[in-house]
Chain A
């Protein structure tokens, strides 16, 4: 039997009915939503980059305004001298005055000159310390909750409390840290207080993420290990944790973003509004060990209230501001994204593509 070749298209042609129309309408809706989110995100980032980049990038080698990244913030002096208008940071201004030998009247803007170095260091120190504390506490308690504890009312209650903790506004954590660490334990406003406060703040994220990760470990691994005479802890350490760890770490990057982007708790517990001294800039080296109250420099985000408090927004501070955000996004956000992608690609995949039936 021979069939006409033109019959085939009609044979496979889509049915014409309302369900198809609805389907394509729904698809369109999904597309629109996704694209509008993308556009919003792109708008935010482009604004920051366009406004901030001209300050960070310079025309000479190494093409980056290194001073901005390596110097402390200073008061900015804006003045006119011999018909030329200048914008100079405090130290340059003093040098300029000495050179000319005159006292020059100037308009001053606090924290609008100099660089961001203390903020970079402060943010890094806070993030590293608090994430370390949070990971230790979080992963251990997640292991207890999901591997050891017997399910029951008490455990459900504990889980619920942890979830509730995630919804507590960060300022409350700030007050808690202020009360407990700064005043109660007399740690003062210090790195240590900040570390613990922020660690407690991200703990719910870490615990929930770790529990999810541990749950996704195939039961077959645990059974296999136990059947070979493994103890519970050895099973967790040798099979369960290695499998769950990439997931735990990638989810914890959310925590990093939260710590780095936090304001209120940091200002309460770690960073004085106007402290630019670095942790190692202390009176005596012995203080570093004997005193727990290491000073913590400002962080990126605690610069914001500082700007708002010390300056009415003006051209100069806004410039610094954009710049700050631009470097903030480049220094923090991009590494975070890369770390996330890296972790997913290199750590996650080999394990998670493991196609093996979970019981």
Chain B
């Protein structure tokens, strides 16, 4: 199949992943993954449960450092040309630039306002006007403002599951990272909130590079510019979303996206 738009500029690369192997203790979770995540675009990761999507995106902000016995044994991950596993890299600075929304929503047991302000406070930003402004902006962006604007100072754990998930999105947006990693951000959301979040991601694309894990084929097809299909710890196929969905190059991919799996 020919490129529908051959004159399109080749996108810059935000994250260069080259032949990484990742182990949890002695079990291999990622096997020889190589892919370039383009800048200011949405890349979605799809694949059956347990194939290593979460593991992969947690490598990108070094969240896996926290897991005992987990390590990257081979390969490099470069963000803006810098090897993020280099000894000289400060993980705190890395995580400020590479934000993350977790698969399980994890708001802190504090007020809604404090949840959003948290990341700013970590950077020792104390000015109330700046924080107030950031709280409102991120809550609006995460389509949560109207629901919580009257109870910003009540406990975030009193929110519903879907609201908590949007709060986590807002919290990640508040620190304005350049790359956003989102692990199934819409799994607990109703279609309206999902649409709002998708719209948000679409708008964010201008300034952010977004990597999103999703189990919804429609969402991946609607939203993303590029799609990566993972299977059993391997990257089976990676390419333009339209191409991958219209004309998958791999029989596994085709079976998975058409729902005939196993």
Query: Which A residues contact B (CB, under 8 angstroms)?
Result: 151, 218-231, 234, 238-239, 242-243, 350-351, 354, 356-357, 359
Contact = CB atoms under 8 A, between A and B. Distances in A.
B63 interface: yes
Closest 9 A/B residue pairs (Cβ): A220-B106, A228-B119, A229-B96, A227-B100, A224-B106, A230-B122, A229-B95, A229-B122, A354-B157
B66 interface: yes
A220 B63 CA distance: 11
Contact of B66 (A222, A238, A351, A357): A222
A359 B122 contact: no
A218 B109 CA distance: 11
A239 B107 CA distance: 11
A350 B172 CA distance: 25
Nearest to A150: B68
A355 B93 CA distance: 32
A228 B118 contact: yes
A151 B67 CA distance: 12
B123 A229 contact: yes
A311 B105 CA distance: 67
Given A239-B108, A354-B109, A223 B122 contact: no
Interface in B105-128: 105-109, 118-119, 121-123
16 contacts: A220-B102, A223-B63, A224-B107, A224-B108, A227-B63, A228-B95, A228-B175, A229-B93, A229-B95, A229-B123, A230-B92, A231-B92, A239-B108, A242-B109, A351-B109, A356-B157
B63 A228 contact: no
Contacts of A239: 108
A228 B122 contact: yes
Contact of A359 (B61, B96, B104, B168): B104
Contacts of B96: 229
Contacts of A220: 102, 104, 106
A223 B68 contact: no
Contacts of B155: 350
A199 B60 CA distance: 46
B99 interface: yes
B119 A151 contact: no
B64 to A, nearest CB: 10
B160 to A, nearest CB: 12
Interface string B200-223: 000000000000000000000000
A224 B122 contact: no
A228 B106 contact: no
B166 interface: no
Nearest to A226: B95
Given A223-B63, A350-B155, A229 B100 contact: no
Given A354-B157, A356-B157, 5 more contacts: A221-B106, A223-B106, A226-B66, A350-B109, A350-B157
A228 B157 contact: no
A224 B102 contact: yes
Interface in B133-189: 155, 157, 168, 171-172, 175
Contacts of B108: 221, 224-225, 239
